[in-house]
Amino acid sequence: MAKLFSAEWMNQLKDAWNGEPDIKGKLAEIKFNSTITWGFKDEENPRGIIVVENGECVRAGEWSGESPDWDLRADIKDWLKWMEKSVGMMGLGAAYTTGKLKFKTGDYKSMIKDPRMAGPFVKTFGLLSKIGADERG
């Protein structure tokens, strides 16, 4: 199993993303393009990155200075918890409201109000439990 947010792990996320029509296909319908970084709340910089073009994840790996459109952060214990037990819309809302999930960049509130983006976002968190991870990379 790969270390969380390592290049290997991010590429597993890329493959899972592209293999999920409810993510890739739905985001392609709205021509979704974005650079999304992932990491830990206690660190200044993110760890991993995916680049999405027209819904398809075209690049994944370790963050190397790119400017994200979305920067998702949480504590290691929360990332691992979400990998053990998939989290749905209510769980993500609670995680955001309580500060367990932070958006260092990106507007969670506007995204979650748009069903064309909210559904794929929640399904992305479902991928975490399929991938799993070792401890912090």
Q: What is the mean pLDDT of the chain?
A: 92
Buried b (16+ CB within 10 A) or exposed e, 69-82: bbbbbbbeebbbbb
More reliable by pLDDT, 56 or 2: 56
Residue 137: inside a domain: no
Find the domain containing 28 and state its range.
3-132
Number of separate domains in the chain? 1
77-103, pLDDT tens digit by residue?
999 998 888 788 888 889 999 999 999
pTM for the full predicted model: 0.92
Distance between alpha carbon 24 and the CA centroid of its chain, in Å? 13
- Which residue type occupies 78? D
pLDDT of 136 > 70? The answer is no
104-114, pLDDT tens digit by residue?
999 888 888 88
Which CATH number is 46's domain given? 3.30.1050.10
Q: For the chain, first and last CA: distance in Å?
A: 11
